[in-house]
Amino acid sequence: MAQTKDGLRNEILQKRDSLSADERDTKSTIISIQLLSSEEFKRSSKIFTYASYGSEVSTSYLIQKALLLGKEICVPRVNFKDSSMHPVKISSLESLKPNKVGIPEPGFFSSKINPMKIDVVLVPAAVFDLHGHRIGSGKGFYDRYLSAYKNHAAIIGVAYDFQVVEDIPEEPHDVKVHKIITEKRIINCHEQKT
């Protein structure tokens, strides 16, 4: 019997939450280094990345390095009323403050960036599969954003290796990531056999 999306999400998130701070830091740094050396990153000028919180793969090292390399970094500002999000430019991690659910966000006066100008979108998820499908938090922020702007950037999933499974149920509104980077491998999703 196939596992439900909620069951799979809960199982993987429990595993993610049980990582020690040291394990998270080590794995996140390896993932960031893989990302920094990817062709997509090297070619990009504007990167839209999530600002990590809780047990997610940390993006702090990546953001700091990317800013030092002169990349424009945007993080999401979410609108809880309509479940939308917008890329907002930041110049440092210090400018981020937790929003009402605890996710670090840019201040209200930060400037929004046109999504059509973004080169790379880094996407978190609870679970990815080898084909690029994802199970997110269930709020739909990334589904809406990626559906609207899916042809304008390289979409890269970022996860610990145990968050990647063989297959997850596909839904009509799903927008696949092009690539998944973990601490153990780089998965080109379009190359996977269906």
Band (90; pLDDT cuts 50, 70, 90): very high
Q: Is 122 helix (H, G, I), strand (E, B) or coil?
A: strand
User: Does 123 have pLDDT greater than 90?
Assistant: yes
Query: Lowest-confidence range among 36-40, 45-49, 62-66, 149-153?
Result: 149-153
* pTM exceeds 0.85 for this model: yes
| Residue 116 in this model has a pLDDT that exceeds 80 | yes
Residue 149 has pLDDT above 50, yes or no: yes
Which residues are within 8 A (CB) of 160 and not within 5 positions of it... i.e. 6 or more apart?
16, 19, 27, 31, 57, 182, 183
Strand order in the sheet with 72-79: 84-90, 72-79, 46-49, 120-123, 154-158, 179-181, 186-188
Which distant-in-sequence residues (6+ apart) come within 8 Å of 33 by Cβ? Answer: none
Q: What's the mean per-residue pLDDT of the chain?
A: 91
Tokens, residue 4: 């439900």
Domains of the chain: 5-191 (3.40.50.10420)
